[in-house]
């Protein structure tokens, strides 16, 4: 009988050696990984320090120091406080334009008498609010009363109040325009444009998008006013001055600087680990292997490029931003998930800012054309005829860097931008399906008739 036992000690010795080798290899990997992450952190710290050395904020707290809130009354605070007194909309007003779900007829068409009566009733209800909103036009704007350091926990109700204020003022403009009360219509329109102006200093991208939304309401009612009423040259000059103030070519740059500083808070939140309400996906795993550090470096590089592009001259900005967009899209997804998602949102905002800038410039030209009509009895044959009496220069289309377009015929005058496809579609506002802001469409003002 063969009862020889297997060589257990030898097998145990081999296993022990393998485990030791594995432990050593693992220790080496941990050391290498630690050194790799440490190197990335040093690079990140150096990037933030370079931002500071350039005179810009690198954190939300530094952003508060860079752009401090002022003490005492300011237009922004007055508007927010006044709008806080706007109560819930009575159901009978829900079909009114601007404040509810209703639409105004095309500018050449009058507003129905029953709609005008409801407008008058609502404006009377909000009389004190409107008086305060008008008072704010004579006071310098500041910024939203929300510290940047509280960005991720702040109550952003003031933004909805700003838009509510803009809806009341545009409704007031339309009402007085329809009744031929041009002084009152002018004052209401200037107050409406002041809502957006009051937000111009804020360094939050979301606030600047609210500013654009408020301005768009004012531009819409201005389009109607130019069709429905005859303003004096002095009144039109006041419109032009307000539109010049609404044009803020540096606001995109300021918002990008703000977003870069605010992003530091987001990355620090991830570094501290997920909270109960976080949707962090796989950020914990990415953080543990150093991918979040790579992501932060990638994001900072993207934001630096975006800020440089936003600081480009207006006729070069669109091309510069397009180049940044292309570089972001080409990044490897495994180390740029947050960057690419952020880039997509910012790219959409760039398009919105460009379109807003184009519409402001088109509005200025439309006002200048009306001033020319009052002075000379006819619309100009070409935009150059507006210089220097009504414009210093022809505004540039932000989408392609060329002068804004103008079509003049016996029936219509179109002032427009080529919009995002950068193709001159001869002032077509909608595509075949009736959709705006699509390839094959332009944006601008359509002066279909002379004023009555």
pLDDT, tens only, 131-177: 999 998 888 777 777 778 775 555 677 888 999 999 999 999 999 99
In a domain, 41, yes or no: no
Report yes or no on 244 lying in a domain.
Answer: yes
* Rounded Cα–Cα distance for residues 391 and 383 (Å): 9
> Do 243 and 327 reside in the same domain of the chain?
no
- Of 32-41, 121-130, 258-267, the one with minimum mean pLDDT is 32-41
The whole-number pLDDT of residue 325 equals 86
The answer to whether the beta carbons of residues 225 and 218 sit under 8 Å apart is: no
Task: Calculate mean pLDDT across residues 88-110.
Answer: 91
Same domain, 126 and 232: yes
Mean pLDDT of 106-131: 93
- Count CB neighbours of 304 within 10 A: 17
The answer as to whether 22 is a domain residue is no
Answer whether residue 274 shows pLDDT above 80.
no
pLDDT at residue number 289: 45
356-407 pLDDT, tens digit each: 999 999 999 999 999 999 999 989 999 999 999 999 999 999 998 899 999 9
Centre a 10 Å sphere on the Cβ of residue 31 and count the other Cβ atoms it contains.
10
Using a 10 angstrom Cβ sphere, with 0-12 exposed, 13-18 middle and 19 or more buried, the burial of residue 409 is exposed
pLDDT higher than 60, residue 281: no
399 domain-assigned: yes
Spell out the SS3 assignment of the chain: CCCCCCCHHHHHHHHHHHHHHHHHHHHHHHHHHHHHHHHHHHHHHHHHHHHHHCCCCCCHHHHHHHCCCCCCCCHHHHHHHHHCCCCCCCHHHCCCECCCCECCCCCCCCCCHHHHHHHHHHHHHCHHHHHHHHHHHHCCCCCCCCCHHHCCCCCCHHHHHHHHHHHHHHHHHHHHHHCCCHHHHHHHHHHHHHHHHCCCCCCCHHHHHHHHHHHHHHHHHHHHHHHHCCCCHHHHHHHHHHHHHHCCCCHHHHHHHHHHHHHHHHHHHHHHCCCCCCCCCCHHHHHHCCHHHHHHHHHHHHHHHHHHHHCCCHHHHHHHHHHHHHHHHCCCHHHCHHHHHHHHHHHHHHHHHHHHHHHHHHHHHHHHHHHHHHHHCCCCCCHHHHCCCCCCCCCECCCCCCECEEEECCCCEEEEECCCCCCCCCCCCCCCCCCCCCCCCCEEEEECCCCC
- pLDDT of 85 > 80? The answer is yes
Cα gap 221→102, rounded to integer Å:
14
- Binning pLDDT at 50, 70 and 90, where does residue 6 land? low
Give the total number of structural domains in the chain.
2
What integer pLDDT is reported at residue 286 of this predicted model?
45
Q: Is residue 264 part of a domain?
A: no
Same domain, 178 and 236: yes
The stretch 212-217 carries a mean pLDDT of 95
Domain shared by 318 and 219, yes or no: no
pLDDT of residue 69: 76
Q: Which of 128-132, 150-154, 259-263, 438-442 has the highest mean pLDDT?
A: 128-132
What would the mean pLDDT of 219-246 be, rounded to a whole number? Answer: 94
Q: Is the pLDDT of residue 444 over 90?
A: yes
Is 323 in the same domain as 237? no
Written as six digits, the tokens of 342 are 């952020």
Which has the minimum average pLDDT: 16-25, 319-328, 413-422, 440-449?
A: 16-25
- The verdict on 155 and 245 lying in the same domain is yes
Q: Are residues 143 and 69 in the same domain?
A: yes
Nearest residue to 206 via CA among 158, 277, 270, 269 = 158
Instruction: Look at residues 241, 257, 273 and tell me which one is the last residue of a structural domain.
Output: 257
* Residue 346 predicted with pLDDT over 50: yes
185-208 average pLDDT score: 91
Identify the pLDDT of residue 77.
85
Do 294 and 229 reside in the same domain of the chain? no
In the predicted model, what is the mean pLDDT of the chain? 85
Of 273-287, 340-354, 372-386, give the range with the top mean pLDDT: 372-386
Indicate if the pLDDT at residue 410 is higher than 60.
yes
Q: Give the bridge partners for 146, in sequence order.
A: none
One domain, residues 200 and 305:
no
Classify residue 385: in a domain, yes or no: yes
Residues 237 and 361 in one domain: no
Note whether residue 89 is domain-resident: yes
- Do residue 293 and residue 191 come from a single domain? no
Residue 36's pLDDT is: 65
- What integer pLDDT is reported at residue 431 of this predicted model? 84
Residue 304 is predicted with a pLDDT of 93
- Alpha-carbon distance of 59 to 48, in angstroms, equals 9
Joined tokens for residue 392: 């210093």
Question: Has residue 6 been placed in a domain?
Answer: no
pLDDT for 280: 46
Closest alpha carbon to 283 in 300, 266, 298: 266
Q: Is the pLDDT of residue 411 over 90?
A: no
The pLDDT score that the predictor gives to residue 270 is 65
Looking at residue 8, its pLDDT comes to 60
Tokens of 328: 């972001």
- pLDDT of 185 > 80? The answer is yes
Express as a percent the part of the chain with pLDDT over 90.
47
* Long-range contacts of 346-351, Cβ-Cβ distance < 8 Å, separation of 24 or more: 346/205, 346/256, 346/259, 346/306, 347/321, 349/205, 349/208, 349/209, 349/255, 350/252, 350/321, 351/420
At residue 287, the pLDDT reads 46
Query: What's the pTM value of the predicted model, to 2 decimals?
Result: 0.85
Does the pLDDT of residue 99 top 90, yes or no? Answer: yes
Give the chain's length. 452
Same domain assignment for residues 226 and 368: no
Q: Tell me if 243 sits within 8 A of 360, measured CB to CB.
A: yes
pLDDT for the residue numbered 173: 97
Containing structural domain, residue 75: 56-257
Q: What is the distance between the alpha carbons of residues 175 and 184, in angstroms, rounded to a whole number?
A: 9
């Amino acid at each position: 009988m063969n009862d020889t036992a297997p060589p257990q000690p030898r097998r145990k010795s081999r296993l022990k050696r393998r485990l030791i080798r594995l432990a050593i290899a693992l220790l080496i990997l941990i050391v290498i990984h630690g050194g790799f992450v440490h190197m990335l952190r040093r690079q990140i710290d150096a990037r933030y320090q370079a931002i500071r050395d350039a005179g810009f904020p690198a954190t939300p707290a530094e952003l508060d120091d860079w752009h401090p809130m002022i003490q005492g009354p300011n237009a922004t605070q007055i508007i927010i406080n006044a709008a806080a007194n706007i109560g819930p909309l009575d159901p009978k007003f829900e079909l009114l334009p601007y404040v509810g779900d209703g639409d105004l007829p095309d500018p050449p068409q009058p507003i129905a008498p029953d709609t005008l009566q409801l407008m008058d009733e609502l404006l009377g209800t909000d009389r004190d609010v409107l008086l305060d909103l008008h008072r704010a036009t004579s006071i310098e704007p500041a910024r939203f009363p929300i510290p940047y350091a509280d960005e991720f926990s702040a109550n952003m109700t003031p933004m909805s109040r700003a838009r509510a204020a803009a809806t009341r003022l545009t409704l007031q403009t339309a009402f007085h325009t329809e009744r031929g009360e041009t002084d009152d219509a002018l004052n209401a329109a200037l107050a409406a444009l002041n809502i957006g102006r009051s937000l111009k200093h804020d360094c939050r991208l979301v606030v600047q998008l609210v500013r654009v939304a408020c301005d768009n309401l004012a531009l819409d009612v201005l389009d109607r006013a130019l069709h429905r009423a005859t303003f004096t040259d002095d009144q039109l000059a006041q419109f032009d001055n307000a539109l010049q103030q609404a044009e803020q070519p540096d606001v995109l740059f300021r918002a990008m600087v703000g977003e870069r500083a605010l992003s530091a808070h987001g990355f620090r939140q991830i570094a501290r680990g997920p909270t109960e309400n976080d949707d962090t996906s796989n950020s914990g795993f990415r953080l543990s292997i150093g991918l979040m550090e790579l992501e932060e470096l990638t994001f900072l590089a993207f934001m630096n490029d975006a800020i440089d592009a936003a600081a480009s001259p207006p006729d070069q900005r669109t091309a510069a931003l397009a180049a940044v967009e292309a570089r972001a899209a080409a990044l490897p997804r495994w180390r740029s998930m947050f960057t690419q998602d952020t880039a997509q949102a910012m790219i959409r905002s760039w398009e919105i800012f460009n379109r807003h800038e184009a519409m402001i410039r088109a509005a200025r030209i439309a006002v200048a054309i009306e001033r020319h009509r009052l002075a000379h009895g006819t619309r100009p044959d070409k935009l150059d005829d507006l210089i220097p009496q009504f414009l210093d220069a022809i505004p540039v289309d932000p989408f392609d860097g060329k002068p804004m377009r103008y079509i003049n015929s016996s029936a219509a005058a179109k002032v427009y931008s080529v919009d995002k496809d950068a193709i001159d579609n001869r002032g077509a506002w909608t595509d075949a399906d009736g959709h705006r802001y699509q390839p094959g469409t332009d944006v601008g003002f359509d002066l279909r008739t002379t004023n009555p």
